[in-house]
């Protein structure tokens, strides 16, 4: 098994777009030939688009793009730009009078950072598609859907840290499996190699992590609305030949990557969602694809945190380590 770039997975293109004033952005993964699609929604507060048609019982077999976006539910508008881009290239489900691109999507809540009136829209979604034409390297950190991401928000923004966008991918023989993720969790981010918190809720002095799960345990008997803008969303891309049912299974297995790196994951205040896009180029056992997807997802989450930059008062992993002399 070797490390590769997510962007090098056969059959896909990836593009990003951001707004500096809004501190928000979007990331699109395109498969113009069509990909077997799957999805698994585990969080209690999802914002999603076109997830029902990924049920294996539904008619449409292939999807053409998935967009991850900031802006909360407003950010779902960015998918319109992806549809315009693909329709302009004659790509989509043929309905006779035109071809309808099948574009799925999910959003994170990042309205509390930057100008909340500026959200990813149709224009930004189209721009991300244009940018996919020239993207040859994986971009991570304050990029695309991760531009306004934050983590460790159990006590609000003053104790939280910067999140971001991360990716990772592996190749075994001809099989390629990768993950891309916008990390915007309520909980803390854990390095699974040593079980240590690397980002999350901080004390007022920014000198130590408070441990979100321990804070929640102290108030186990209180029903508290902890909504402060969360959700981690991602995409598994693979060149494996998968059915829709298998693609859904891979998305489900990839949530183990969330469980290994985010504590707690899948809360009622997170809309944690993972899509699968399988470009159907090579044979690959679904079980192998699934556990590679899990490994890629956990590494992508760590990469997001370690590559982000401080923004709008939220300190990054890198700046915190420098401040603490590590």
Q: Kindly state the tokens that stand for 125.
A: 């979604």
Rounded CA separation 282/276 (Å): 16
Query: Which of 34-38, 153-157, 242-246, 248-252 shows the lowest mean pLDDT across its residues?
Result: 153-157
Hey, how many other C-beta atoms are within 10 angstroms of the C-beta on 224? 9
**pLDDT, tens digit (0-9, with 9 covering 90-100), for 131-170:** 999 999 999 999 999 999 999 988 888 899 999 999 999 9
User: How far is Cα of residue 122 from the mean position of the Cα atoms in its chain?
Assistant: 19
> Quick one: which of 64, 68, 80, 174 has its CA closest to 121?
80
State the pLDDT at residue 229: 61
Q: Kindly state the tokens that stand for 294.
A: 């899990």
Question: pTM value?
Answer: 0.94
| Domain boundaries, given as residue ranges, for the chain | 2-323
Domain 2-323, what architecture? Answer: 4-Layer Sandwich (3.60)
| β-strands 13-19, 188-191 pairing | unpaired
Predicted confidence (pLDDT) at residue 223 exceeds the cutoff of 80: no
Predicted confidence (pLDDT) at residue 202 exceeds the cutoff of 80: yes
Predicted confidence (pLDDT) at residue 272 exceeds the cutoff of 60: yes
């Amino acid at each position: 098994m070797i490390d590769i770039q997510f962007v090098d997975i056969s059959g896909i293109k990836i593009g990003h777009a951001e707004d500096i004033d809004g501190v928000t952005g979007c990331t699109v993964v395109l498969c113009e030939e069509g990909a077997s699609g799957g999805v698994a929604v585990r969080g209690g507060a999802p914002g999603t688009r076109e997830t029902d048609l990924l049920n294996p019982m539904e008619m449409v077999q292939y999807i053409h793009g998935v967009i991850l976006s900031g802006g909360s539910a407003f950010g779902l508008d960015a998918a319109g730009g992806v549809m315009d881009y693909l329709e302009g290239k004659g790509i989509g489900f043929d309905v006779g009078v035109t071809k309808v691109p099948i574009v799925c999507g999910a959003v994170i809540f990042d309205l509390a950072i930057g100008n909340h009136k500026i959200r990813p829209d149709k224009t930004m979604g189209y721009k991300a598609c244009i940018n996919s034409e020239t993207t040859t390297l994986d971009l991570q950190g304050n990029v695309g859907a991760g531009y306004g991401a934050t983590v460790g928000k159990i006590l609000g923004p003053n104790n939280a840290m910067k999140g971001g966008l991360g990716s990772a991918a592996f190749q075994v023989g001809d099989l390629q499996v990768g993950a891309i993720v916008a990390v915007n969790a309520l909980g803390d981010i854990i390095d699974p190699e040593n079980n240590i918190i690397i980002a999350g809720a901080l004390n007022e002095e920014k000198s130590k992590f408070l441990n979100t799960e321990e804070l929640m345990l102290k108030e186990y008997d209180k029903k508290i609305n902890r909504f402060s803008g969360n959700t981690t969303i991602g995409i598994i891309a693979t060149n494996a030949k998968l059915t829709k049912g298998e693609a859904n299974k891979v998305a489900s297995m990839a949530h183990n990557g969330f469980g290994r790196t985010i504590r707690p994951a899948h809360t009622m205040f997170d809309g944690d969602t993972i899509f699968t896009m399988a470009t159907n180029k090579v044979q690959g056992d679904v079980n192998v694809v699934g556990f590679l997807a899990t490994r890629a997802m956990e590494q992508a989450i760590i990469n997001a945190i370690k590559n982000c930059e401080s923004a709008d008062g939220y300190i990054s992993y890198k700046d915190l380590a420098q401040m603490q002399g590590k």
